[in-house]
């Protein structure tokens, strides 16, 4: 007698399996090479997420809110990958004790993502008691299944699983509600990102690249939650073993790609989640917040109107004299508000100036190097390096893109 003889209609187990994110009898027949590929992918993802989660909160880095939330976000992804390992390697009827243990990571991932987005976009963000409300649904689901499922005996768990197709609370309401809630958190993240992105594009300051990457990640998650809810509502896919296998594979790849992009973005974005020594460096600064805002607005206005970056000899002291901002405070504002050092900050404006000239077709009558020198660069190498760093492409590639 096999484990599936408990069921009156064994084909329903594949449907149960999908709803609960656990392997059914058909999904267990996935070819060995697919399981090996999935396990390898899951193992790599767990290692890299765990490594960076620990790295982010080690030493002085833990003082930064963004680092903490990103660390928690990566840990939630580790839990998600453990759940996928369970899906790929364990039989729900043979190991029912692991059911409803790891498969609620998503309902915690998106609230953490919202807090991470807020803390990244707002340098003055502070965690408050009202933020705890974001996690109430997740902990409510955990408590529900502790008393509704985990306290049961082994045999009672088997019968509980058998009755899931008729249990609309477990089979439909909870997974659909969880995905809709995650959808709502992602929408809120996108609203925050869009609002800040609109302001940054008008002011033309360096954080715009960072915002675009966050928007890309949020759109990817949005598509994932929409498709998951769709698959639950239209359950013909739940009876299709071939479709089930590839939905699981696609889900693992989605989370894996998300973690890769998140980590890569952090490594390549100054001051995002690597050691954020910028804020730590200025912890003892006596610069008041009110003065900081005044200096920041003065600097932004001066950069846009007077365009001092056109002078290739511009340095911190000369800009300090022209803006009447003490050098140490000017450096602090650029570091904290822009996440850049002085020369990267100036080169950003020079690159934008070159882009404006190229957009108007000035390169048709002048060589690019001449345009770059007029924008304040003192060499071709410095220009090419700064342009690629700020845009991700070379000047020639940019010219091709605007034709």
Domain boundary among 221, 246, 275: 275
> For 170, what's the count of Cα atoms within 13 Å in the CB-facing half-sphere?
22
Instruction: Based on the fold, state whether residues 138 and 249 are members of the same structural domain.
Output: yes
**Residue 158: per-residue pLDDT:** 87
Instruction: Based on the fold, state whether residues 94 and 160 are members of the same structural domain.
Output: yes
- Determine phi and psi for 57, rounding to 5 degrees: -110, 15
Instruction: Based on the fold, state whether residues 90 and 28 are members of the same structural domain.
Output: yes
For residue 379, is it left (φ>0), alpha (ψ between -120 and 50) or beta? beta
Average pLDDT, the chain: 75
- 222: confidence class by pLDDT, cuts 50, 70, 90: low
pTM of the model as a whole:
0.59
Of 42, 19, 17, nearest to 27 by C-alpha is 17
**Residue 363: per-residue pLDDT:** 85
- Determine phi and psi for 362, rounding to 5 degrees: -65, -25
**Mean pLDDT, rounded, for 382-400:** 87
Domain boundary among 235, 258, 275: 275
Dihedral angle of Cα 80, 109, 191, 177, to the nearest 10 degrees: 80
**CB proximity list for 134: less than 8 A, separation 6 or greater:** 111, 114, 115, 185
Do residues 47 and 271 lie in contact, with contact meaning Cβ atoms separated by under 8 Å?
no
Instruction: Based on the fold, state whether residues 118 and 232 are members of the same structural domain.
Output: yes
Q: How far apart are CA 329 and CA 318, in angstroms?
A: 14
Instruction: Based on the fold, state whether residues 371 and 312 are members of the same structural domain.
Output: yes
Number of domains in the chain: 2
Instruction: Based on the fold, state whether residues 124 and 184 are members of the same structural domain.
Output: yes
Instruction: Based on the fold, state whether residues 270 and 288 are members of the same structural domain.
Output: no
Digit-coded pLDDT (tens) for 78-114: 888 888 787 777 777 788 888 888 777 778 888 988 8
Q: List own/partner pairs for 274-280 with CB under 8 A and 24 or more apart.
A: 274/61, 275/59, 275/60, 275/61, 276/61, 276/64, 276/66, 276/67, 277/60, 278/335, 278/336, 278/339, 279/63, 279/64, 279/123, 279/336, 280/60, 280/63, 280/64
Assign residue 303 the CATH number of its domain: 1.10.10.60
Instruction: Based on the fold, state whether residues 265 and 360 are members of the same structural domain.
Output: no
**Residue 33: per-residue pLDDT:** 66
Digit-coded pLDDT (tens) for 281-328: 565 667 787 888 888 899 999 999 999 999 999 999 999 999 999 988
C-alpha distances out from residue 357 to 49, 93, 202, 310, 350, Å: 43, 67, 18, 13, 11
Residue 381 structural domain: 282-401
Instruction: Based on the fold, state whether residues 366 and 249 are members of the same structural domain.
Output: no
Digit-coded pLDDT (tens) for 66-78: 778 888 888 988 8
**Residue 276: per-residue pLDDT:** 43
Instruction: Based on the fold, state whether residues 68 and 124 are members of the same structural domain.
Output: yes
Tally of CB atoms within 10 A around 114: 20
Domain boundary among 253, 275, 297: 275
Instruction: Based on the fold, state whether residues 52 and 199 are members of the same structural domain.
Output: yes
Instruction: Based on the fold, state whether residues 253 and 294 are members of the same structural domain.
Output: no
Assign residue 133 the CATH number of its domain: 1.20.1070
**Mean pLDDT, rounded, for 23-38:** 56
């Amino acid at each position: 007698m096999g484990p599936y003889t408990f069921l009156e209609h064994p084909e329903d187990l594949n449907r149960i399996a999908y709803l609960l994110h656990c392997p059914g009898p058909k999904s267990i027949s996935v070819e060995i090479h697919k399981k090996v590929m999935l396990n390898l992918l899951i193992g790599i993802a767990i290692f890299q997420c765990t490594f960076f989660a620990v790295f982010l909160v080690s030493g002085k880095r833990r003082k930064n809110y963004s680092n903490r939330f990103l660390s928690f976000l990566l840990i939630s992804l580790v839990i998600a990958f453990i759940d996928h390992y369970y899906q790929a390697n364990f039989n729900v009827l043979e190991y029912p004790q692991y059911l409803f243990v790891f498969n609620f990571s998503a309902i915690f991932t998106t609230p953490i993502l919202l807090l991470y987005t807020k803390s990244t976009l707002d340098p003055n963000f502070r965690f408050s008691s009202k933020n705890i409300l974001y996690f109430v649904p997740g902990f409510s689901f955990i408590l529900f299944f502790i008393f509704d499922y985990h306290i049961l005996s082994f045999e009672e768990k088997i019968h509980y699983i058998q009755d899931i197709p008729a249990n609309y609370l477990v089979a439909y309401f909870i997974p659909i509600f969880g995905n809709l809630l995650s959808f709502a958190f992602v929408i809120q993240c996108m609203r925050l990102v869009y609002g800040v992105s609109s302001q940054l594009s008008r002011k033309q300051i360096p954080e715009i690249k960072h915002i675009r990457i966050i928007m890309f990640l949020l759109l990817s998650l949005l598509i994932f939650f929409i498709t998951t809810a769709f698959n639950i509502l239209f359950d013909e896919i739940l009876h299709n073993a071939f479709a089930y296998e590839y939905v699981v594979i696609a889900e693992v790849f989605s989370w894996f790609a998300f973690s890769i992009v998140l980590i890569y973005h952090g490594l390549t974005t100054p001051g995002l989640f690597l050691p954020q020594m910028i804020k730590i460096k200025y912890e003892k600064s006596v610069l008041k917040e009110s003065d900081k805002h005044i200096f920041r607005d003065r600097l932004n206005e001066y950069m846009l109107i007077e365009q001092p970056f056109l002078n290739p000899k511009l340095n911190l002291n000369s800009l300090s004299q022209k803006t009447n901002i003490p050098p140490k405070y000017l450096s602090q504002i650029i570091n904290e508000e822009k996440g850049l050092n002085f020369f990267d900050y100036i080169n950003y404006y020079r690159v934008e100036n070159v882009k404006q000239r190229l957009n108007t077709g000035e390169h048709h009558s002048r060589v690019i190097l001449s345009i770059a020198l007029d924008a304040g660069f003192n060499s071709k190498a410095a220009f090419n390096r700064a342009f690629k760093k700020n845009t991700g492409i070379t000047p020639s590639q940019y010219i091709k893109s605007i034709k």
